[in-house]
Copies of this chain bind each other. A is one copy, B any other.
C-alpha cells in the first residue's frame, strides 16, 4: 500500500560502495573488489545487484567495449544523509542531537577529525540557522 521503499539492502549497498571506493567498474571488477574485501559471491549475484541498483536509480551503466560499466549516480554523502535521516527519525523522532552525542561518545576519531569537528561546532554556534520548514 504505502510507498514503502526498502531502498537498499546490505548486499546492494556493498556493491555500491565498491563503486564509490574504486570508481566505475564492470560486473567482474565489482566482483573482484568484493572478493578482495572477503565477500564471496557469484558473478551473477553481483550482476543482479548492479541491475537492481540501476533500477533503483543508484547507478547508471554504459556499454563499453566488452561489458557494461557501472557508475555510481548518487554520492556517498547523499546516501549517507538519507540513511541518517531515516535512522534519526526511527529512533528519535527526527532529533539528531542524541544520535550525534552517541557517535561522539562511542567512536574513535583522529586528531584531524577532532579539529574539524571543533571548527564545525564553532560555526554552528555562531550561525543560528532558521528553523527547518
Contact = CB atoms under 8 A, between A and B. Distances in A.
Interface string A92-133: 100011111111111111110110111011001100110110
A17 interface: yes
Copies in the complex: 2
Interface residues on A, range: 35 or more
A79 interface: yes
Given A13-B91, A80-B87, A104-B117, 18 more contacts: A17-B90, A76-B92, A77-B102, A80-B98, A80-B99, A80-B102, A81-B102, A81-B106, A84-B87, A96-B109, A99-B103, A101-B120, A104-B120, A104-B124, A108-B131, A114-B125, A118-B121, A118-B125
